[in-house]
Amino acid sequence: MSHHHHDHTHEHAHEEVEGSWRDAQDDRPLSVARRRFLAGLGAAGVATTLGALPAHAHGDRPGTPVNPWGGRARWFAGDHHIHTKYSSDGQYEVAQQVAKAREHGLDWVVITDHGGVAHEKFSIGQVAPDIEQARKAHRDVLVYQGLEWNIPGAEHATVFLPPGRSTVDILRAFEAAYDGGVLSTPVAGGGKGLITRSTSADGEPYALAALRFLEAQVLSGRTEIALMFANHPSRRGVDSPHEFRGWRDAAPGVAVGMEGAPGHQAAGIPAANGGRGAARGLYDASPNQDSFPGFAPTATENPYRTYGGFDWMTAKVGGLWDSLLAEGRPWWVTATSDAHRVHLDTHKPGAGDHNTTGSKGAPIDTGVPQVEGDYWPGFYSSTLVGADSKSYMDVMRGMQGGKVVAVHGRLVDGLHLRVRSLGEGDNRGVTIGGRTFVRRGHDVEVAIEVDLARGANFAGVVPRPAKVDLIAGRVTGPAVDRDAFAAPGTKVVKSFEVARTARGTVRFTHTFRRVEEAFYLRLRGSDGNRLTSDGHPVMDVIGDADPWSDLWFYANPVFVDVI
């Protein structure tokens, strides 16, 4: 929400949450001990005091490489934002979505139906067995159960857990206690009636409590990991900069990133070409009362639009994402489908009453292609995750650790980045999402290997990056202004041209000479079709955005400490 002042950071009074460590009825010894311990400590101090920050959540101590270089990583493509008939605006069976994801090459998916009163009451119990069934039917696809959480005071977010004995219980307790839809719905409507609107600022403390709740589930051992990614963050301007910082700081092992590119990438296809003629990403909004006032359309930019299909916060060099990274703290970006209804698919939603049953019922096959705004999972958007194996835990650890590349239209098949000290310091170096160190005044080498697409994308074209940008900026430490959303020192330091004739893997290197201060770097690439005069993505035009002719990838950063 919109507020500049920071009087919302206090811990609000916790409700008892069934099935959590707060649940006094839960008498398992570990839970009792944790509860006693945490209650005495105050949840805010938990992470650091227990020393339980995952290795990936970067500590302040330099000299410990994170995500050490280990050769060419294996990439697993996935999508953390997928809807089914258990969303009031969705339609597909879980099985259909998983089968389509698999058909389009995905290794992992997260089922994320919208949170809310009906979903919490009726849908969770139904989707869980459907997910179990899909796992059995497609043993080569990881199917996570998640939720599209209405973040109190803000936008939506993916929240998900690995399969486990308590997964469903945790998700259910989380949604009942902390979903913005549930919290803002009046008691008479089955909600809690505790906040004014799902996006109003009085929800902000609940968002922080919610993330601490998830972190506590990890600390208590009820789940091994839980992750949250903020979805379509700029769409309505309701995710304020201080909210990102608040989420990240409240639960650094859980709140780890955001959609760098939203779904609904087909929505901007011109009506004249058989498309919906809407905004790419369905990003067609204007500021509302809960928007952050700093996110305002001006003569130079419109934060409420996508740029080359990516969210403004990610697409703008020196913008909000960079302002978070310039603090020297992790915050990762992804790309998802947000598939509700797929463009040119023949299904339409079933006639089920979602309000009273939690389901639209089975979709109806009209036999006629429908004009919609979404692509199937994997058809256009991919989140590539570097992981040791295709297992539920390894993929989530990869995401938590930022070994993530967001790709559109198969612009690349993989990206291998090695950043290392050439002098004293970490000579082995680290890869994407990592943290390395160098002796002050010594050189840092960046070695980039781009795996070009080995085949056609789903538009039938073998895409090719025309350029790869190396972007870097100083690490300036924790932001004094928690609502800052600019990193003026972050720039494109070099653009590498990819030869038109290149095949296979292309390699680039760059050396930062005589490094004097901590910095971070990241990569992005473009097919070169739509660039501003200075090489940046162009604001997408409503009703005139062919996604296949404007492809980008964004890789997550590497931090370089100076010792």
Contact residues for other proteins, defined by CB under 8 A:
1-3, 7-8, 87-89, 114, 116, 150, 156, 180-181, 184, 196-202, 235, 267, 270-272, 277-279, 282, 284-286, 288-290, 293, 297-302, 304-305, 539, 541-544
- Measure the CA–CA gap between 148 and 93, rounded to whole angstroms: 17
Report DSSP state, residue 538. P
- Measure the CA–CA gap between 304 and 550, rounded to whole angstroms: 19
Sign of CA dihedral 97, 103, 280, 325: positive
Q: Which is nearer to other proteins, 272 or 499 (CB)?
A: 272
Give the tokens for residue 428.
């082995």
- Measure the CA–CA gap between 53 and 403, rounded to whole angstroms: 17
Which residues make Cβ contacts (< 8 Å) with residue 423, sequence separation at least 6?
438, 439, 441, 442, 443
Q: Which is nearer to other proteins, 235 or 524 (CB)?
A: 235
Which residues make Cβ contacts (< 8 Å) with residue 228, sequence separation at least 6?
149, 157, 158, 159, 211, 214, 247, 251, 254, 255, 256
Q: Which is nearer to other proteins, 303 or 414 (CB)?
A: 303
Neighbouring C-beta atoms of residue 55, cutoff 10 Å: 12
Considering the complex, what minimum distance in angstroms separates the CB of residue 167 from other proteins?
23
Considering the complex, what minimum distance in angstroms separates the CB of residue 127 from other proteins?
16
Do β-strands 552-555 and 519-526 pair in parallel, antiparallel, or remain unpaired?
A: antiparallel
Considering the complex, what minimum distance in angstroms separates the CB of residue 114 from other proteins?
5
Per-state percent for the chain, helix, strand, coil, to nearest 5: 25, 25, 50
Q: Which is nearer to other proteins, 30 or 271 (CB)?
A: 271
Neighbouring C-beta atoms of residue 335, cutoff 10 Å: 30
Strand partners, 261: 335
Q: Which is nearer to other proteins, 181 or 433 (CB)?
A: 181
Q: Which is nearer to other proteins, 461 or 538 (CB)?
A: 538
Considering the complex, what minimum distance in angstroms separates the CB of residue 312 from other proteins?
12
Q: Which is nearer to other proteins, 113 or 327 (CB)?
A: 113
Considering the complex, what minimum distance in angstroms separates the CB of residue 298 from other proteins?
7
Which residues make Cβ contacts (< 8 Å) with residue 333, sequence separation at least 6?
257, 258, 259, 260, 261, 314, 321, 404, 406, 554, 556
Considering the complex, what minimum distance in angstroms separates the CB of residue 3 from other proteins?
7
- Measure the CA–CA gap between 43 and 37, rounded to whole angstroms: 10
Which residues make Cβ contacts (< 8 Å) with residue 4, sequence separation at least 6?
242, 293, 483
Considering the complex, what minimum distance in angstroms separates the CB of residue 544 from other proteins?
4
Residue type at 492 in one-letter notation = V
Task: Answer whether 282's CB lies under 8 Å from 304's CB.
Answer: no
Q: Which is nearer to other proteins, 180 or 257 (CB)?
A: 180
Q: Which is nearer to other proteins, 237 or 434 (CB)?
A: 237
Considering the complex, what minimum distance in angstroms separates the CB of residue 100 from other proteins?
21
Give the SS3 label for residue 333: strand
Q: Which is nearer to other proteins, 279 or 412 (CB)?
A: 279
Q: HSE (CB half, 13 Å, CA atoms) of 3?
A: 14
Element (H, E) at 313: helix 312-315
Considering the complex, what minimum distance in angstroms separates the CB of residue 360 from other proteins?
13
Q: Which is nearer to other proteins, 280 or 524 (CB)?
A: 280
Considering the complex, what minimum distance in angstroms separates the CB of residue 2 from other proteins?
5
Considering the complex, what minimum distance in angstroms separates the CB of residue 72 from other proteins?
39
How far is the CA of 275 from the CAs of 1, 23, 242, 339, 546, in angstroms?
Answer: 33, 50, 37, 16, 9
Of 125, 115, 188, 106, the C-alpha closest to 158 is 115
Considering the complex, what minimum distance in angstroms separates the CB of residue 346 from other proteins?
22
Q: Which is nearer to other proteins, 236 or 408 (CB)?
A: 236
Q: Which is nearer to other proteins, 189 or 221 (CB)?
A: 189
Of 117, 60, 526, 94, the C-alpha closest to 329 is 60
Considering the complex, what minimum distance in angstroms separates the CB of residue 433 from other proteins?
30
Do β-strands 444-452 and 505-512 pair in parallel, antiparallel, or remain unpaired?
A: antiparallel
Q: Which is nearer to other proteins, 202 or 469 (CB)?
A: 202
Considering the complex, what minimum distance in angstroms separates the CB of residue 231 from other proteins?
10
Of 100, 108, 192, the C-alpha closest to 150 is 192
| Placement of tokens 């194996």 in the chain | 389
Task: Answer whether 154's CB lies under 8 Å from 199's CB.
Answer: yes
Task: Answer whether 111's CB lies under 8 Å from 123's CB.
Answer: no
